[in-house]
Structure formats: structure tokens, C-alpha cells
Amino acid sequence: MPKYVIEREIPGAGNLSTEQLQAISQTSCGVLRTMGPEIQWLHSYVTGDKIYCVYIAPNEKMIREHAEQGGFPANSVAEVATIIDPTTADVAA
């Protein structure tokens, strides 16, 4: 199943309280429950004015549908081509 990174422009995101982040998370999870198991939220990174979310879904349309139903911006949706980490530097034996 494809993995996506969603960029959400939310001014002041980094200053949101724990309660506000919990409310956003609850809304997202509620929408996901109604959409079914094909779409999954893995995690998100909160920065100054943006939230970057990582999802698994069959297609970009489903990602955008989740955003619309939840009232979240989806300023950019990019399918992950591959994942690298420090072990990528290791030479295969």
C-alpha cells in the first residue's frame, strides 16, 4: 500500500496546546473510523507553522477526502518513493 507525506499549513501549529493537538487527533481518528481500514495515520511532525503527516492509503484521493471530511488543510500530498536511513549507507555484503 502506498505511503504519503501530507504537508498541512497551520499558522502557529508549533504553539498548539496538548489539548488542541488531542482534539485534532480525535477528529482525525473519528474520520478514519468512518472511512474504513484502507487508510491509516502513522504519525505526524508538528513544526512552527506546519504539520507533516505520514499516512498509508490506496491513493491520493482518499488522503484528500480525509482532509476534507476532517476540515484539515492538505496543502501538499506526496507519495513516498522509498525510505532511506543511516543503514542505507551500509555496503551490502
76 pLDDT band, cuts 50/70/90, is very high
pLDDT in tens, 19-74: 999 999 999 999 999 999 999 999 999 999 999 999 999 999 999 999 999 999 99
93 pLDDT band, cuts 50/70/90, is low
91 pLDDT band, cuts 50/70/90, is confident
In 10 A of CB 62, how many CB atoms?
17
Q: How many residues are present in the chain?
A: 93
76-79 and 40-46 beta bridge pairing:
unpaired
User: Which domains are delineated in the chain?
Assistant: 3-82 (3.30.70.3090)
pLDDT in tens, 5-31: 999 999 999 999 999 999 999 999 999
- The strand pairing partners of 46, in sequence order, are 51
Cα dist from 66 to 27, 48, 91, whole Å: 10, 23, 40
Q: What is the pLDDT of residue 51?
A: 98
Q: What is the pLDDT of residue 71?
A: 96
Cα–Cα distance, 2 to 59 (Å, whole number): 7
